[in-house]
Structures are given as structure tokens and as C-alpha cells.
Structure 1
Amino acid sequence: MGSTPTASNIDRVIATIVNGIEVARYGGLKTEEEPAPHDVVAHEPVYRLRHYYPDSPAGLPPVILVPPLSQVAVVWDISPQTSAVAMLREQGLDPWVVDFGDPAVEPGGNERTFGDHVLAVADAVQRVRQATGRDVHLVGYCQGGIFCYTATAYLGNAGVASVIALGSPLTTLDIDRVVPQDLFWGIVGLESKIIGKTGLPRWFVTQLFNWSSPHRNIRNDIEFLLALHDRESLLPREPQRKFLKTGAWISWSGPALVELLELLADNRLVEGGVVIGDRTVGFADITCPILTFVGEADFLAPPATVRAVRRAAPNADIHECTLPVGHFGLPVSSHAKQKTWPGIGAWVRWTNGEGDLPDFIHELEPSSDVEAPAPRGSIAGLTYGAGLVAGTGFNLPAALSRAGKHLATTVVELSREAAAAAPRLVRLESMGPRTTISYGALLDDLARSRPDKVAFLFADRVHTHAETKQRIDSVVCGLVSAGVRKGERVGVLMHTRPSSLVAIAALNRIGAVAVLHRPGHDLAEEIRLGHVTKILADPEHAATAATTALPVFVLGAVHEDRDIPSGAVDLEQVDPDHARLPAWYRANPGCAGDVAFVLFGGAEEQTRADLITNGRWATSALAASTACALTPGDTIYSSSPLHHPTGLLLATAAATASGARVALIDEFDPETFWSQVRRNRATVVTYTRDMLEPLVDAPERIRKNHPIRLFVGSAMPADLWRRVSDRFGSVGVLEMYASTRSDAILGNVSGRKIGSVGKPLPGTPRVCVVEMEDGRIRTGEDGYAVPARPGQVGQLLVDASGKIFAGNDIALRGVFDRDDEWMATGDLFRVDRDGDFWFVTSMPGATEQPDECLLELRAVETAPAQ
């Protein structure tokens, strides 16, 4: 006989059916709970500002809660039992919430960028501070914490009492345990352009996170179904279950997602260089206290990625609270109810000087960010990769960019960088005197291919390629309308600033020659040597330029009190929309053999003019960018003025050839150097001896946690090089030699021989050290120059046969062969048995030496060739 169902079993089945119908209809059980009272006090295009418990007494410490990209603002008020705003109010705080809304619903939501969210948080800080009269405590969950960090740095800590971050990762994860990194990032990068335009829809984000931990997801669903008959036992946890299952998730804005994850991929959140609006910020500028909450079982934001804030914000007092929960348990769980929100209340009181911190909040140790990530399964790892890293478009992990392979850039040592360097090397080898190439042309190429990317930075302000091109075009109109023509030599007397870079580029685009004067030197002599017919000056030097009796144009610093000399042309007043370009004008007509710039060396009666062709500039640009292994992700820090060879031929040239950014610094200051490096995320720093010595001698604390991978420059003594290596062991040194009187460029790309300038860089001409005797090139019985033996000091000659050069020097002919041509550099070198060159010194009277050598060699020019 079969058993007869009891009444209790029948009631259980009926309850299961009834509750199941309710779940199917409403997505969950109806709890009839009311949200916490709040007012919407601001409704901006990117966010709404909610004020919870608006009737609370005035004077309470304000706390602003910021949700992540993927979740609705209700995450802070899921139910009365788990409401963050309610618990914060119980702690005597004044809760406010930033509500970004759903990008799929909000006007222009799918076009929002990472910077838009940061600026929204910064605006909320200012509004709440104005309304309450008190500095605010920022609380962010996941990406919301990243927004809080960045907004605080953007505001310079103004108005922010502290930052509190719940599971906010600042670095990417090691996914080698799931799939090889290069393969994974390559596959993900294929989707970046699509995701950047479409974003991720809500249904995808919901499934993504619900199945980020499949075992737990299936187990929770089974437990819910088995308990579906017991409504009373399910109701307390139902709001949280229903929220995570269906109501928590919103779509992701494509541009915001891609931009955020590019920052993670390039490690910019830790190393600096985050671009917000037209400014750069770095977390190293955060000085207010920071409290992080770390989930021991958090696979979306493992402890090591959250604790990276210790490296990112070395100037902040940082504490942490570790909970035995996963990512979602940090704001909503029994542990959150016991520690997260009471801990935040205690933290706010402690920062205000009231009471002590609980024992579960402790100071974050400097070494605590090096631990291994928490274990996770393959599905979880792939979920993280697909959801949090999809669309970044970068090809190699950030760790690879900091390895030593960036120094391997000669033909033999290029290794894996060869593919990226190959187009530059081919361009160098194929360049002839009539090849159309110039600074202006390369800038135009970047404006077409990377219009929204950063071209250069100055005073922490960002200038994109599109903005730079627009500004250059405007200055071109002004110069041409003022009578500047192709081939004309125009003096540039300006401090380092955006307008000076634009002026040089505009002259180059016209095809004129930019004669770069040195402020403080003999202007009249430089005008004579440079054959200058007009002068372009900034307002600070306009009066000096006016004393020359040459036509003067003034550019830069637009404000009412600009003092423009009488008769000077103010180019800022020229309207480019009404300026007509003449029929002869053609943008970027310069060929490699055309003189493009004039630089000056020496002082007083020793002043000399060095003519730089477009080809010479391009050779420096392509060779230096190859030697430094520059990519568009790099930023070059340059405190050398543009009238110095390092500024013109290395920093700005190499950046233009590679698409890297250049941070122009008007004056080097060792006290502000590291903060500038972090804000701009400078990865390559051009150096001089006077610059490196104070950095090496600086206190240990100011050089930690920086993004620099390479110092590049010339004339570093071996003893200083050793000190640099001892002090900054992880940073490479690329010692170079570049002569403004020839196309010679040598580089010690391996860095193994301290003090050596290495070998000629790929694509640059041959060089040879020849014996000297009584100040002249020594010749043999056949009349040809005698090459120096290994270790013997002699003068460096540069092969000029068929090459592109310009200068006041005359080529030496018949040096080693009847028909060859060589340029004498006037510099003494020795070569070791491995073929590496070592700079010794410049010859006395080097400016006259080439002519003396020429006199001797002419006598043997007709000698038979060997």
C-alpha cells in the first residue's frame, strides 16, 4: 500500500506552489519593506545626489557613498536589516549617496567616461561640503572606491576628510593559472573597440556576476528552492537574494569600462598619470587618511590588488580591516553588519580625534601588498577577465613593461621588441634627401590616428593630439598672414611652455626654419649666426625681441594685462576662421634634406650655430624611440628646454615618433620631481648630470613607488652611473651620444658597460675613431687616415657618404677611400675590443678643428685607394 500524504505535506506543497508563483511573477518574495527616507538634492547629467535622513540634526559628519559601475545606488539600502545608510545614521553620521543611474536609460549614459564619474564624485564632495560646512568622508565600493581615490587626488584633498574603499582593486590579476597571459590579453584586446562603443548590457552583467562563482550560485538556488515552502525563514534574506539575483546590476558604459581597465592594465592607478578632463592626477597626491576593507575570499578584488593603495598613495596614513568574506560580503553580510559599518563609524570619530579605533582596524604595513592573490577557480578567473578586463586593448601585462627587455634595442638585442621597432628602422634606412618627412607631418599623422590621446602635458594639464593640431593650425594662419614664408628663418625666443612647442611645430609645418634662441644669451650674435629675419616671442621676452629692430610676433599667455611692445604683432588676435592662406602654402612641405631648426652651442665668442635638417631630426626621433623601446603607453619626462638638443632631438622627437606622451617641465626641482613623475606617470626620464646628482643624494623615502623604467641622456660619469644603479636598481640607464654636427647617434642599450656610449643605433651612419697627432688626423704612408687601435684615444668621424646632414662644417673627403665623405665631430673617443665606444672629451677649439683636418686631407685626396 502507498503512504497517504499528511496535511502538513500538502500544506508544504501548496506553500511551495504559491510562493513559487510569486517568485516567478515578481522576481522574488514580496517583503513590503520601505526604503530609507531620502531627498534628491541635485540632478546632474551624470549623477543624482541623494541625501538620506534629511530631517536629521545638522552638524553630523557627512559621508558620501559611491557605488561601482555595475551596481545601482540601492546597494547602500537593500533592506532595513542590511541598509548601509541606516547603519551609518545609527553611528551618528550624515549619509549621502551618489546615484549614477543606469547608462542604458540615462541620456548619453553609454557615452560616459571614467573621468565623467570621477568629476561627478568631485562635484558631490563640493556640494555636500557647501551644504554641511564640513569635510566629507568618501566611501566607495569596488570601482566606486577607485572613483573616490581619483576624485580626492583631483581635488588635491580639498573637502575630503578621509577615503574609505571596500574591495577596490588598483592592479590587475595574474591569470596565468587560467590561460597564458599573452594569449588571454590578445584575445580580449580584439573586442576592445566593440565594447568601447556598445558597452555591456544589463542582462550580460547580471549573468556575469551571478555565475562568477558557479558552485555557490547553484547551491544558493537549490537551498532557496528547498526552503520555498517556509516563507518566514526566507523573508529576512530575501531582499539581499533578490537584489543580487536580479536588481543589483546595470549596464556598463563602454567608454568608462575601457578607460578604467586601460588604467588598470597600464598600472596608472598605482604609478600615476590618470587623465581627468584636461589634467593629470596621481594617487601619490592623496594625503588624507585612507581605510580599506579587504575580503579574504574576494576573487574579484584579491587582497594584494586592494592593498596596492599602499604603493599608490605613499603619503597617506592607511589602515585596513580584513573580513572573512567575498566581494559581495564587504558591504552586505553579517560580518559587514558587525564590522564594516560600525568600523566606519569608529573610523570617522577617530579621524575627528574622538575615541580609539577598534582592534579589527589596523595600520596597513608597507610590505603587505606583496602577498599572493587569493585562490580562485578557472571560471572565476575567466569571469574576472571577461568582465573587468574586457576591452582594454593592451597586448602585454603591465609587469612585462617593467622588465629589462626595454633596454634590448640594438639589431642584436632587439629580441621581442623587434616587431614594434621594425617600421621605424625601415623608415630610417629608406630615408633620402628628398624624402618628405618633418616634425609637423608626424604630428599630423598622430592627430589623424590618435586624436583623443594625450600628445603632451604641461603643468599637469593635458593636451590631446587633436587639440594640439587645432592650435598649430591657428598659429600657422597667423604666421602666414604676417608674412612668414617657406624657407624663411624665424627666431623663437620663448620659455618652455605649450605655446613654444606649438610655435616650433607651426614653423615646421609652413616649411620655415625655427631658429631656437637661448634666453639669457647673446641674442644679437645668435640672430647674426642664424640669419634670422623675424622673431617669435612669448610675452616675457617680447620687449627683448623688440630691441632687435626685426619684426616681432607675440604668442601665448592670453590675458588682459599682456604687455605687447609697440609694433609687435599679437598672433593671439588673429582669427584663423577669417585668415586666408596664400596659393603657395602647402602643409608640411619639408624634405629630409631641408634645414628645419637651428640650435646654438657655446657662449660669447665661442657661440656656434648648428643646422638641423628634417632628416637629422627624424633620425634622432626614430633611433631614440627605438633605443628606448617607446610605446604609446610611455610618458617621457623632460626638463630640458626646447632650444637644448635633449629637448628638441630626444624628448619631443622620440615621443612624436612613437606616439608616447611627453611631460614638459619648465624647471627641474628635486623637491617636486617625484610628485611630477607620479602625476604624469613618467616612465622614461631624460637626464643631465646636474639633475641626477641631487636625486641620488635625496632622502630614501621620496623615491619609492615610482613608474620610471629608464633614465636616458648623455655625459653621465661612470661614478654617478654606479650610484644611480645602486640607488635605483630596478631602473635602466641608456647613455647616448648624439652630435648636432652630424647624424651620429650612439647608445648603450644593454647598460652592461657602465660609462660606455655603446654602438651606433640602427639606421644611423657608421662612425670611426681615427688617430690624432699634434691636434690633426694622423695619416699613413698612403695618405689615408689611420683608424685608432682598441683602447687608443682618437677623434670620432661620422660617415657622411650619401647621408643627410647640414652644418657649417665641410665634409672631409678621401678619408679612407678616394670617394668617401666623413664629418669630424671634434670629440675624442676610444673603442674597446667589443666595438663599444667610450667618450673621453671634446677637443680644444673643436669648432675650428674640422677645417684644420680638411687642409691636411686635401693634400692626399688623390692618393690611390687601397
Structure 2
Amino acid sequence: MPVPLPIVLPAAAASLAYLNAKSGFWYDFTLIKSVAKGTIRVRRGLRNDTINLFYLLESHAKSARYANKAFLIFEGKTYTYAQTYDRALRYGHWIKTKFDVKPKDIVAMDFQNSDTFVFVWFALWAIGAKPAFINYNLTGKALAHCIEAATTKLCLIDPAVASNVDEGSTQNLPHVNFVVFTPEAEAEAMSTAPVRSPNADRSEDAMSNMAMLIYTSGTTGLPKAAVVAWGKCIYGGSIAETLLGRGGDDIMYTCMPLYHSSASILSLCATLHAGSTQALGRKFSTKTFWDDCRASKATMIQYVGETLRYLLAAPPQIDPVTGENLDRKHSVRLAFGNGLRPDVWDRVKERFGIETIAEFYAATESPGSAWNISSNDMGRGAIGRSGWLYSLISNTAAALVEVDHDTDSPWRDPVTKFCRRVKPGEPGEMLYRLPPEDVNERFQGYFNNPNASNSKILRDVFAPGDAWFRSGDILRRDPSGFTFFSDRIGDTFRWKSENVSTAEVSQAVGLHPSVREANVYGVQLPHHDGRAGCAAICFDTPVPDEATLRSLADHVKASLPRYARPLFLRLVREVGAEGQTTGTNKQQKSSLRAAGVKPKLSTKSEAEDGSGDAGKEEEGADIYWLKGNTYVPFREKEWRELEGGRVKL
């Protein structure tokens, strides 16, 4: 007896959906499509000598479809593609004639996010120059180093950050012209004729040619100037455009700094490729984030690091007239970025009503990336995903290899001297294959810094003469094709002969209901080998009570193996505390590691207690240690016992 169609069709559809989910075929197809789109654009750009993305802006500005479409929204002002193009020509001709900027010259830009940032950026591309994006938070030695590393003769400065460019930054750079882009200067640039430089000024013969310089965060030293090639701008923008479904009437909002590649390439360049709209915030603030999203009617938002955790930590916005909770009063359907921890993944979706999380893994200088687009519970917390088809292709281009934690380098077989791939589910350092005869094709390195560039290249990994890029990140890939972040090499520490992943411990600690943020790291202790775990924690109250401390101790004992449990806590008064995050809201550990756990005496002022003992030192209780079944204050007396060898952990 034949089965009726009303029964067969739903069953067949359900079976196909199941097979697609298990195999990841449609997801793989989209990944492959995004790479193919980038390849076509690069080849066409090289063939026509239009790989400079100024030409894409020009094409949109002159097309009937896009000319009058909104390209940029900033602080209540909207600029179409045609208006942005006009400004790029005017500003470019002004910079070229006033400061004698030539094609291929590098010009430093020290700007906060703004419409002017975008106009100056594309103005430099319009005249064939290369922007060097400076972190506007830098001052003194670090700022001077970045400007000197760019070998520039001109540094344009946002008036809002001009106070950071003091004598300490400029005194050893007499050859650099520091120009504050005041409203008067901007008016002068705007009044300049929109003269288009000849095509020869923008000529490029390789996708590996420099488009701009973007600096590393400098958490372990002075920032390095990473060369961002035209190929990366096109591939990165194309992949983000395709995987996120950009185009049409979508509006991407970012307040992540444009001096970082996440915002400049994956948000703004993707917007340009898609012919859609970029909404821009000056800088991140929990007070203005959702107001900006509502005002711009953003359909997508970008995050980096702990951005979404900080939004969760902020109290709900309430409509002053109706008293309505505004958490879900927006048009945002997708949040994309990198660094969203699993412990807040679902909380973000639930509180703010966001349907889809698009987590990616990449680095400014890295030749590879990973993406995980998740609209359900599948792959929660993963930084990448691929099915059998894409894995078949990418397995020759990327590898996870075993790490020797004594040397913080990939482990090598003592006989063959080659590295070894890890098994599914095991952690390993992510490596990306480079063409051995010309690594510059995929990895352009750090500008005028061959030693730093060469330190990222690994040779003779699986075969004599091969070349691979070192990410410095430990990832693990499960049998289902999901990739998870384990730790940064150097952050992982050894305790009791075991390797401890700070990211995994932070996740476990962060799941406690009273913990708003946890930053885990290893600290050296007297008379102990390795490093003991310490967690810098922001609780939901400034000072935790005994019940909270005991509950946290029970939680870590239930959640973590003995060697991975944080033995120390350092209280942090607020999430994202100053000095403990980068400009892109990523946690820093170096200063916390250096501080260790030796208690510091705090100075009591007369105004605080009225005793007249101004300047008297007393012990603080900002550090706790795990003792028995709870965490208790760790003070000078306990430190002396540890230092004297009378306590063994």
C-alpha cells in the first residue's frame, strides 16, 4: 500500500534537514561560495588594476542603484555612497597638495571612530597613499614607536585625542608633521575641488601589496605594525558579507575601533562589498550602545572580546514615559564578532532577543580564519564550524599540532623532527599553510620587522621545506566539525604537572551566578614549581559575603579537576576594569601575572576614618585563597608563611 504524499514529504524534508545538519553541507557550500567570491574579486581587480577598494566606492557612487543609498550613519548624520565618494576626492586632493603626499606614501591616522575617519581613510586610498591606523589610546613611547614604525612624514590627528600627542610622543620625530584635523582644517579640505587622481597613482600589481597598516595590541611589548594586504581586505570583506547575508537594506552597527581589523575589514569593508549601510559609534559605551542601534535601525551588531558581557552587566534601559523595558526594542537580528564566551552566549540571546550569533576566529596578520554561524544550541561557544566537504578542502591548509608547553612551541618528534597533528577533541596550536617559495603571498608580516615576521613562520613541520604560519592559539576541534578556543600559548600554565587552560577555567568560574566576569591566569609562588591558578573576579556585589565565597568554592570543586581550580582570587570592583582590557575589550593577563598574589598594604587617610592616623598602612582583603571548603582573605601573615616555606599548596 503506497504511503500518502502528505506523510512522505514532511518525513523526507525532516530527513534531509537532519542529514544537512549532520554533514554541514549547506554551511560548507556557503563557506566555499564566500571564498570563491573573494577569489573572483581579487582576480578581476588584478586584471583591471582596480584592486584598490577606492574603485568599489567609486563604482557604487556612480551607479543608479547605490549612488543615493546610505553608506555611513554617524551621530545622527547620514552619508550616501555618492557623498562619501565626493568627500574622499576633496579630502584626498587637499592632503595631496597641502602636504605633498605621493602614491605609496604611508600616512598615520590617530582618530577615534567618526565620519571623518572614513573620509580620510578613503581619501588616502583615492590618492594611492596607505593609511596607518594608530590606536588613539596610545601616548608617549608607545605612540612614538607606532608612528616611527610606519616611516611616515605625516600624522593626522583627531582633535578629540590631540592631548595624547604630547612632547614625549613627538620630540624624537622631528621629520614627522603632526597635523590636528581641526574643524577649520576639515572645512578647508571640504572646500577643495573634488579632483580625482589618475589611475596610475593607484596602480597595484599583486594582492599581497599593502593596503594599510594595523597594529597589534602590544600586550606583551610595543605594538607591531601588521601589513594588511589588498587581498585580505577583499577576502575578509567578501567572507563576512556572504556568511552574514549582508546586502539589501541591512545596517551593520559597530562601535569597535576602526583602528582594529575586526571593524575596518569585517564590518566596513564588508559593508562596501555588500553595497549596504554602516552605522558607526564613536566608541563603546553601555549607556549609548542600544540607543545608537535604535536610532540607526541597525539589523546587525559587532562585538569584540567582552563587549556583550559588559552589556549584560549593565542594568536594563527603561522608557522614561511608559516604563517599558527596552532590552528587546531594536531591530537587531544578528550579533557577530570574536571573543563571546560560552557562559554568556545564551544569556545574550535571551535577554536581548538576538536570533543569531556569528562568532569568528582570526587575527590581523593571520592568513586563515574560522566562522560559526549559530541560530540554535548547536555549536554554542564554538569559534568555527565546517562539515566534511569544507574539512576535506581545508585540512591541507590548516592543522592543529601538539604543543610542548615547556618551550611554548609545537612539539617535535625526537626522531623525525616533524610536528604531530592532534586527534579530534585534543587541543593543539593552529597552524596555517604558507607557500614555501613565497610566504609573502599569504603572510605579509610586520612592516620593516623581519625578526618578528620570521618568528611567526614555522618550517619543516610535516615535510622538509614546508612553511606554516603560527597562530599562537591553542584550539580543539570535535568530531562534529566544531572548533573551540582553548587558550593563548603563554596564557596556559602548568600546575602539578598538568596543563591548565585559562579560557576553560574562566568559562567554568563565570557560570557561577554571582560572578559577572572572571579573568584567570597563573601566578608564581615561593617554593612551588609551575604556576598556581588565580582568578581576577568581579562579583555582583563589591565585596562577596561568606556564603558567596563558600558557594564559589563548591562550584569550582564540582566543575574543575583539582589541578585546575583557582587557588587564589583577586577582587575586581567593576567589569572591564581599566588596565585589564585592551581597546577592543579583550582581557589582558600580563599585568595581573606580574602583580602576583603578594598582598599590598593600603594607605588609610584621615578623611576615611577620622582617627588622625593619616598615611597609616593597613592590610586590604582584595586577595583570597582557597582554604578548606571556602575562600578566605589572604593577607601578609599568610604570605610570610608561604614565603617561608611553611605552607605547601
TM-score normalised according to structure 2 size:
0.60
Aligned counterpart in structure 1 of residue 296 of structure 2, from 680, 697, 706:
680
Q: Which protein is richer in strand relative to its size?
A: 2
Question: Counterparts of 1:499-510 in structure 2 under 5 Å?
Answer: 499-510=116-127
Shift of 1:454: 0.6
Kept after mapping to 2: 8 A contact 1:635/1:681 = yes
Deviations 1:222-259 (A, max 9, x none): xxxxxxxxxxxxxxxxxxxxxxxxxxxxxxxxxxxxxx
The match for 1:631 is 247
Question: Counterparts of 1:437-456 in structure 2 under 5 Å?
Answer: 437-449=51-63, 450-456=66-72
The 1:610–1:582 alpha-carbon spacing in structure 2 relative to 1, beyond 3 Å, is: closer
Shift of 1:544: 5.4
The 1:520–1:416 alpha-carbon spacing in structure 2 relative to 1, beyond 3 Å, is: closer
Kept after mapping to 2: 8 A contact 1:799/1:822 = yes
Matched residue of 2:107: which SS?
strand
The question of 1:552 aligning with 2:177 is answered yes
The match for 1:366 is none
The question of 1:480 aligning with 2:105 is answered no
Deviations 1:586-645 (A, max 9, x none): 346474211122122214834222221111121211111111111131101101111122
Gaps of 5+ in 2: 1-16, 318-324, 447-452, 493-649
The match for 2:431 is 797
The match for 1:703 is 327
Matched residue of 1:839: which SS?
strand
- Taking the aligned partners of 2:348 and 2:54, their CA distance within structure 1 comes to 36
The 1:465–1:580 alpha-carbon spacing in structure 2 relative to 1, beyond 3 Å, is: closer
Matched residue of 1:445: which SS?
helix
- Taking the aligned partners of 2:201 and 2:27, their CA distance within structure 1 comes to 38
Kept after mapping to 2: 8 A contact 1:493/1:535 = yes
The match for 1:109 is none
Shift of 1:782: 3.1
Shift of 1:665: 0.2
The match for 1:412 is 25
Question: Counterparts of 1:561-580 in structure 2 under 5 Å?
Answer: 570=185, 572-573=187-188
Matched residue of 2:231: which SS?
helix
Aligned counterpart in structure 1 of residue 475 of structure 2, from 812, 829, 833:
829
The match for 1:620 is 236
Shift of 1:717: 0.9
The 1:590–1:722 alpha-carbon spacing in structure 2 relative to 1, beyond 3 Å, is: farther
Question: Counterparts of 1:426-441 in structure 2 under 5 Å?
Answer: 426-427=39-40, 430=43, 436-441=50-55
Kept after mapping to 2: 8 A contact 1:555/1:572 = no
Aligned counterpart in structure 2 of residue 841 of structure 1, from 473, 483, 487:
487
The 1:646–1:812 alpha-carbon spacing in structure 2 relative to 1, beyond 3 Å, is: same
The question of 1:598 aligning with 2:213 is answered yes
Aligned counterpart in structure 2 of residue 757 of structure 1, from 378, 383, 400:
383
Kept after mapping to 2: 8 A contact 1:769/1:787 = yes
Kept after mapping to 1: 8 A contact 2:297/2:331 = yes
The match for 1:19 is none
Which residue type is aligned with residue 528 of structure 1?
A: E
- Taking the aligned partners of 1:426 and 1:411, their CA distance within structure 2 comes to 23
Which residue type is aligned with residue 797 of structure 1?
A: L
- Taking the aligned partners of 1:532 and 1:542, their CA distance within structure 2 comes to 18
- Taking the aligned partners of 2:33 and 2:491, their CA distance within structure 1 comes to 42
The match for 2:224 is 608
Which residue type is aligned with residue 739 of structure 1?
A: A
The question of 1:538 aligning with 2:167 is answered no
Deviations 1:271-324 (A, max 9, x none): xxxxxxxxxxxxxxxxxxxxxxxxxxxxxxxxxxxxxxxxxxxxxxxxxxxxxx
Which residue type is aligned with residue 642 of structure 1?
A: L
The 1:433–1:605 alpha-carbon spacing in structure 2 relative to 1, beyond 3 Å, is: farther
Gaps of 5+ in 1: 1-403, 560-569, 847-866
Kept after mapping to 1: 8 A contact 2:86/2:194 = no
Aligned counterpart in structure 2 of residue 807 of structure 1, from 445, 458, 473:
445
The 1:546–1:590 alpha-carbon spacing in structure 2 relative to 1, beyond 3 Å, is: farther
The question of 1:786 aligning with 2:424 is answered no
- Taking the aligned partners of 2:80 and 2:44, their CA distance within structure 1 comes to 28
Shift of 1:708: 0.7
Shift of 1:652: 0.7
Shift of 1:685: 0.3
Matched residue of 2:245: which SS?
coil
Matched residue of 2:147: which SS?
helix
Deviations 1:64-98 (A, max 9, x none): xxxxxxxxxxxxxxxxxxxxxxxxxxxxxxxxxxx
- Taking the aligned partners of 1:428 and 1:582, their CA distance within structure 2 comes to 23
TM-score normalised according to structure 1 size:
0.46
Matched residue of 2:25: which SS?
coil
The match for 1:669 is 285
The question of 1:491 aligning with 2:129 is answered no
Q: RMSD of the TM alignment (CA)?
A: 3.5
The match for 1:735 is 359
Deviations 1:647-689 (A, max 9, x none): 2122112111111211110023333333321221111100134
Kept after mapping to 2: 8 A contact 1:537/1:552 = no
The 1:818–1:713 alpha-carbon spacing in structure 2 relative to 1, beyond 3 Å, is: same
Aligned counterpart in structure 2 of residue 746 of structure 1, from 370, 389, 393:
370
Matched residue of 2:62: which SS?
helix
Shift of 1:845: 8.8
- Taking the aligned partners of 1:419 and 1:741, their CA distance within structure 2 comes to 22
- Taking the aligned partners of 1:452 and 1:644, their CA distance within structure 2 comes to 28
The match for 2:403 is 772
- Taking the aligned partners of 1:462 and 1:531, their CA distance within structure 2 comes to 35
Deviations 1:326-347 (A, max 9, x none): xxxxxxxxxxxxxxxxxxxxxx
Kept after mapping to 2: 8 A contact 1:478/1:579 = no
Which residue type is aligned with residue 78 of structure 2?
A: V
Matched residue of 2:268: which SS?
helix
Kept after mapping to 2: 8 A contact 1:553/1:571 = no
- Taking the aligned partners of 2:356 and 2:281, their CA distance within structure 1 comes to 21
- Taking the aligned partners of 2:113 and 2:421, their CA distance within structure 1 comes to 42
Provide the identity percentage: 23
- Taking the aligned partners of 1:794 and 1:505, their CA distance within structure 2 comes to 40
Kept after mapping to 1: 8 A contact 2:356/2:373 = no
Shift of 1:513: 2.0
Kept after mapping to 2: 8 A contact 1:652/1:662 = yes
Deviations 1:142-173 (A, max 9, x none): xxxxxxxxxxxxxxxxxxxxxxxxxxxxxxxx
| Number of positions where the alignment pairs a residue of Structure 1 with one of Structure 2 | 430
The match for 2:130 is 513
Kindly name which structure, 1 or 2, has the bigger radius of gyration based on alpha carbons: 1
Shift of 1:526: 0.9
Deviations 1:461-503 (A, max 9, x none): 1000000000000111112212112222211011211111111
Which residue type is aligned with residue 812 of structure 1?
A: L
Question: Counterparts of 1:276-355 in structure 2 under 5 Å?
Answer: none
Shift of 1:760: 6.9
Matched residue of 2:367: which SS?
coil
- Taking the aligned partners of 1:792 and 1:422, their CA distance within structure 2 comes to 28
Shift of 1:452: 0.4
The 1:419–1:453 alpha-carbon spacing in structure 2 relative to 1, beyond 3 Å, is: farther
Most deviating of 800-809 and 639-648: 800-809
The match for 1:114 is none
Deviations 1:778-835 (A, max 9, x none): 2234333211111222111112227433113233333223453211111111111123
The match for 2:260 is 644
- Taking the aligned partners of 1:584 and 1:671, their CA distance within structure 2 comes to 45
Matched residue of 1:612: which SS?
strand
Which residue type is aligned with residue 113 of structure 2?
A: T
The 1:610–1:726 alpha-carbon spacing in structure 2 relative to 1, beyond 3 Å, is: same
The match for 1:309 is none
Matched residue of 1:787: which SS?
coil
The 1:591–1:840 alpha-carbon spacing in structure 2 relative to 1, beyond 3 Å, is: same
Kept after mapping to 1: 8 A contact 2:42/2:234 = no
The match for 2:613 is none
- Taking the aligned partners of 1:558 and 1:590, their CA distance within structure 2 comes to 37
Matched residue of 2:246: which SS?
coil
Which residue type is aligned with residue 788 of structure 1?
A: V
The 1:633–1:424 alpha-carbon spacing in structure 2 relative to 1, beyond 3 Å, is: farther
